[in-house]
Chain A
Amino acid sequence: MSARMSPREAVLNRVRAATGNAAPAAESYAQLPRNYIRRGTLDAEERVQLMIERLREYDAEVVECAPGELPAAIAAQLARSGRHRFVAPAGLPSEWLAEGFEWKVDRQLEAAEIEQTEGVVTAAFCGVANSGTIVLHHSPPEGRRILTLLPDWHLCTLRASQVVETFPEYFSRCEQAPALVTWISGPSATADIEMTRIKGVHGPRFLVVILVRDRS
């Protein structure tokens, strides 16, 4: 091996030598078998019910509301939480910033400032009912990743029309692959000590989901 060959060249040469001169991947990629379930069978109402059931299974609180009632529903949940200082993504609709609470709007807040807040409110990109997964693409109303990580309480709004049944259906909703994604399917958990499941190691320990009953 030449001393002047870069590690990159060395590794790629070894890999090519091992696989031979493979034809371009695209053609055989298209032939790969995909006989798994790619679409769900539940109707819209069943999907939403399943999403709610799975969320509650991992101790998320779920409340429903009609589209026009969303700001009021948010205000009610904020009040119920007993918390006062909240952080909001810069792109959160302003009518969601309920009166009577202290709001920090995230325009590149420092971590220490976010640490001082008690909760965060965001939108979401999608919900996957089979696993109760909330998908964040961190668009402006969903906020930077740090916002749904440091605060202890997360209120997430999810429209019924955003709920799909299966994982493949979520992927087919992505017109292009997103740059940032966080898939949330439960509060942080560990089973490292004697397999005893403990929740809330890092990340929000409390999740409240407002399911908005818009048309699917």
Chain B
Amino acid sequence: MSHAAAARAVLDPAHAPPFPKAALPVLRNPQLRKNVAHAIDVIQSKRARLVAEKTDWQELRASASAIRAHVLDHLAEYLEQFEARCTAAGGKVHWARDGAEANRLVAGILRDEGVNQAIKIKTMTSAETQMNPALEAAGISVFETDLAEIILQLGEDEPSHIVVPALHVNRAQVREIFSRRMEIPDLKDDPQVLTAAARHYLRQKFLTVPAAISGANFFIAETGAVAIVESEGNGRMCLTLPRVMVTLAGIEKVLPRFADLEVMLQLLARSATGERMNPYTSLWTGVTAGDGPQSFHVVLLDNGRSEILKRKTERQTLKCIRCAACMNACPVYRQTGGHAYGSVYPGPIGAIFTPQLMRLEHAQSLPYASSLCAACYEVCPVKINIPEVLLELRARVTDRERRSFGKFFDPLYWGLRVANLLFSRAWLFTAAQRLGRIGLRFFTRRDGWIHSLPSVGARWTMTRDLRGMPSQSFRQWWDTRPKEGR
């Protein structure tokens, strides 16, 4: 199976292999690991410089975190306010309980408008609902317009990062895809040339396709406005030129007031791409006569977000502004890239968001795809305590697994249950230490180290030796010391 075909098969969390298994082919792919590490290093060094320069960075984070938490506390009020203002400004607001409903709504809107083609700005939410195949099935042709998304669409591949989705693809691979699918015979693999090819390919689409689909970075409740943050300009094309515009985004994307953007925009660009400000940010409110689409629809998507909202610790997941700073900082993501997470939301945010969207029925390995190093929490502009949520989800997953039959066959489960018993009494613990010393003697070599162990232990010894147990534990040594009178 080609890398691309394999990727397409696995980015559905309901069917993706568990993380440790999904990571294996990536770990064995030096090209991919190099591409990912290179991309991350570039963003990280730019980000570090600009964050150091921003002397009120921590204050901005504190405000952003508070604003987002506040929105979630009052979400119904803000959603209704947004709906009322957007409608008053000439927009039409629709609600979708789940992804399938969202896809049906979008298809229906486009059909009612008499269009069977749409240009698209990159939106992770539409990938979450698997919109493109649903629209194609409804007879609507969808054309991605982000350079990365074109690379992925033409290459029949899937995104591996939420800001730089094709970061796992190198220039030679892009050249091959463009040359084949755009039918350009003598294409050089210079990024400038490749970008120019994409610009030319898209120009006609922008000028002729009558409808556009977008996501939203932010909804503004106060005015019913929508904001889109981008670098390439294809967003501006899509939201200005066509007659019909459909914006799909999660209910959590709302901000109270226009002025709250003063906090979010300062944080987002530095976090996402390591710039003081991204090239283009656009904001529009409903319909403006004579300027831009004259038919504007918003689809507000739940798809499990209201479930996440219910839970005290997990609610902070919804503060996310999709900057990807967490995955740029993550040492696990650095080695595995995004596809290993089996979801359009990878990295640390994906490890908490995806399982929750799946109601913990799938993607149960994702909360464990972390060494809990907390680098993500340190960089998150809205201060999502991702490690805290990971631990909460691990507890929920474990509670579910406890009730299942499979636990009887899991050596780690038994090991931990037994360990707990041993920790409950000092005499049990010390007895276990003595027994363990005897048992491990069999595996301990002459130099005092253990080279291989069975069962769960083999997962350690596959790449590491283990110190053999010393002949005397600390407390045994302590007992040999003279006691002072007390």
Contacts and interface: CB of A to CB of B under 8 A. Distances in A.
| Direct contact, A vs B (beta carbon within 8 Å) | yes
Given A168-B262, A177-B257, A202 B233 contact: yes
B480 to A, nearest CB: 57
B277 interface: yes
Given A11-B300, A149-B236, A179 B285 contact: yes
Interface stretch (B60-68, B106-114, B211-219, B389-397): B60-68
B413 interface: no
A35 interface: yes
B223 A177 contact: yes
A101 interface: no
Given A145-B292, A194-B170, A198-B191, A171 B258 contact: yes
A19 B75 contact: yes
A128 B266 CA distance: 12
A180 B273 CA distance: 25
Interface stretch (B21-29, B93-101, B360-368): B93-101
Given A108-B290, A145-B240, A185-B277, A36 B66 contact: no
Contacts of A81: none
Given A33-B63, A192-B148, A187 B73 contact: no
Contacts of A16: 76
Contacts of B202: 202
B310 to A, nearest CB: 4
Interface size class of B (residues with CB under 8 A): 35 or more
Interface size class of A (residues with CB under 8 A): 35 or more
A187 to B, nearest CB: 6
A190 B276 contact: no
Nearest to A204: B233
A185 B55 contact: no
B280 A32 contact: no
A177 B234 contact: no
A6 B67 CA distance: 30
Interface in A66-90: none
Contacts of A42: none
Given A18-B306, A19-B76, A146 B241 contact: yes
B89 interface: yes
A32 B63 contact: yes
A195 interface: yes
Contacts of A167: 262, 265-266
Nearest to A172: B259
The 6 closest A-B pairs by CB, nearest first: A202-B233, A203-B233, A188-B233, A177-B258, A14-B306, A185-B277
Interface of A: 6-8, 10-12, 14-19, 22, 24-25, 28-29, 32-37, 54, 108, 111-112, 115, 128, 130-133, 138, 144-146, 149, 167-168, 170-172, 174, 177-196, 198, 200-203
Interface of B: 35, 38-39, 42-43, 55-56, 59-60, 62-63, 66-67, 70, 72-80, 89, 94-97, 101, 146-148, 151, 164-167, 169-171, 174, 191-192, 194-195, 198-199, 202, 206-207, 220, 222-223, 225, 231-234, 236-237, 240-241, 251, 256-259, 261-263, 265-266, 269, 273, 275-286, 288, 290-292, 300, 302, 306-307, 309-310
